[in-house]
Structure 1
Amino acid sequence: MPIRPATAADLPAVAAVYAHYVATSVVTFDETAPELPFWQTRLRELGERGLPFLVADVDGEVAGYAYAGQWRPKPAYRHTVEDSVYLAPGRTGQGLGRALLGELLPRCAKAGARQVVAVIADTGQDASAALHRAFGFVSVGRLTGVGFKLGRWVDTQLMQLDLTR
């Protein structure tokens, strides 16, 4: 399956994928889906920093996406990124997450990242954490009850991958 850099033409589909998770799940703590201009800015800013924003293109449709953005805004964090991987509804369990993350990580290293952090909402399912463990991420902590969405308190698991090893 082709994994390729995202383009402006992909952004409406990216926005729709993310909007699905905003509306139906706690995997993101956003409560309002960002509009297209947000995604245009995100694509531009990541490109300016040389950070990857990828899509899984299946039969001409965006079946998922992944990107890495700076972990925190302070300058000393400039070599640490946070990854995000989202799959279109109905596209889970097809190896797309593995393909996206597998392509994202070497591109992060090429962009100068040394550490990758994953912030994973504790949904009671292990798929995201298992995906990250498969690539060598280790659990480095848990933040308890830090998000409130859809009527419940949600923990986040922090995972980290050292790209220098």
Structure 2
Amino acid sequence: MKMAETKYDNRETGCCARLDEARWDNQEFVWKDKPFVKDHIREFLHLPLNFGSVMARDHAALEKAQAYAEEPLWLVDEVSPWGSDVYLATDREVPNMRMEHLSGTFMTKVFTGPYGDIGQWVKQMEAHVKEHGRTLQKLYFFYATCPKCAKQFGKNQVVAFARVE
């Protein structure tokens, strides 16, 4: 489907939608082979250098293929200080794009604050998972708003997605 046909309502900014906290905070999702376009972002000490151009390229491919998931979502895997993998949810295979399928149980938690708080968020998410008697396997982040839209909304929100056992 095209972006305009999804649940993503970005009319307020023309860029990012407001995050529906109730939809994402303290939730559990079970995915089996959920399709994603996978790409890579270059970074310098975890500061993205080409996030905007990667997202623009990937969104253009999803729009052209009319392959947006009903509920658009992009997850970032901070693989090193020099780069991150980004996963954009789709509803099908996207031609000429690298695809990845994610499976597992994912616990979520919404965090509000500057990006620099990510270290605290990681610790809080680790504790959250442990409190629920689960083991953290992998941690992804859904950066719900760009810096410009976060400023307009008056807050920056990030959703941690913990794949758990």
> With structure 2 as the length reference, what TM-score do the two structures score?
0.29
| Greater helix content | 1
- Greater relative contact order (CA < 8 Å, ≥ 6 in sequence): 2
> With structure 1 as the length reference, what TM-score do the two structures score?
0.29
